[in-house]
Amino acid sequence: MKYTQHILFEKIGQQGQEKISKANITILGLGATGTNSAELLARAGVGNLTLIDRDIIEESNLQRQTLFVEEDINNPKALVAKEKLEKINSNIKIKSHFKDINYQTISILKHPDLILDCTDNMSTRFLLDEYCYKNNIPWIYLGIIESTGMLLKIVPKKTPTLKEVLKEINEPLDSCDTSGILNTIAPFASSLQVTEAIKHITSQPATKELLYFDIWKHKVQKIKINKSQNFKYQLSYLNGEKESKAIQLCGTNTFQLRGPKVKLEQLANKLKKIGDVISNQYCIKFNELIIFEDGRVLIKASDEKKAKSLYTKYIGY
């Protein structure tokens, strides 16, 4: 793939494009922003991409997750995204992990040049914040809701951490479940995120402020964030101290619970006795549950209590 238009752009040029071709970037989460950011990086010629996501593709994702089509439904996002991106640019190296990231598995991120946050819950983001702080890895936080979003590049020890900025709130005040997402906000947000990533890769000055944007109102606002001299950084997510068994995901009023590993075929046979089961090599879909071999279960429920009740009823732990 030729990158003539990038090379002609004076902020990048030949040297900048060479830096892009050698860069190693990890994308955590392949939902609305993750799929858009991954595609932009692949087309930009980023040499090494690592894609990590724990979910399978559902019909409701297609409204805003642009890499996927109807025939991809029920397949892992990470594996499908890798396949699609390799068709877009066969000259780059792509690794994918169909895996849940928690304090026991986060080391799979290793030590890339940059990590892009495209996750859907604050617990995972604070875990990522701690991992990057401990390992001195720069990363770019990105969150969207309705027609709005926020973006912040974080460089450990040099800029405020996410914990400093957001004060460890458990979840945003609004959620996708109650407020929804305008599908045009995702590509706009990803364009900003990938632009900051390219600035970082090519050693260009990055945006220091927190960016707040509202695509409906055509509004972009820079908010100055000062590093606190008195803030004491503590690792409470990375050591499992704040590990939650139930995490509410963004999108369809879904909770993720985690338990022991399961044998999919054995469990599918058990559940078929009481209802309809759709299964493949990756997961089982039964009523409001999607069950993975590694013990994760996605449950659509009105609240956490109901989700835990369904988990106990059908999984038995």
pLDDT digit string, tens, across residues 79-97: 999 999 999 999 999 999 9
Residue 169 has a pLDDT of 47
Of the ranges 8-17, 106-115, 147-156, 161-170, which one carries the lowest mean pLDDT score?
161-170
Whole-number percent of the chain with pLDDT over 90: 61
Over range 142-168, report the average pLDDT: 91
Residue of 233, 309, 243, 224 lying closest to 102 (CA atoms): 243
Confidence of residue 303 (pLDDT cuts 50, 70, 90): confident
Question: What is the average pLDDT value for the chain, to the nearest integer?
Answer: 90
Rounded CA Rg of the chain: 20
Token readout for 96 is 């994918």
In the predicted structure, residue 308 carries a pLDDT above the cut 90: no
Q: Which residue has the tokens 């009481």?
A: 274
Over range 58-73, report the average pLDDT: 92
In the predicted structure, residue 174 carries a pLDDT above the cut 80: no
In the predicted structure, residue 177 carries a pLDDT above the cut 60: no
- What is the rounded distance in angstroms from the CA atom of residue 117 to the CA atom of residue 31? 11
Confidence of residue 170 (pLDDT cuts 50, 70, 90): very low
Let me know: does 55 contact 298? Beta carbons within 8 Å. yes
Q: Which residue has the tokens 């617990």?
A: 123
For Cα atoms 56, 90, 6, give the angle at the middle one, nearest 5 degrees.
105
What is each CA distance from 311 to 127, 214, 236, 315, in whole angstroms? 25, 38, 27, 5
Highest-confidence segment of 42-46, 103-107, 119-123, 163-167: 42-46
Residue of 220, 202, 195, 200 lying closest to 210 (CA atoms): 220
Residue 172 has a pLDDT of 38
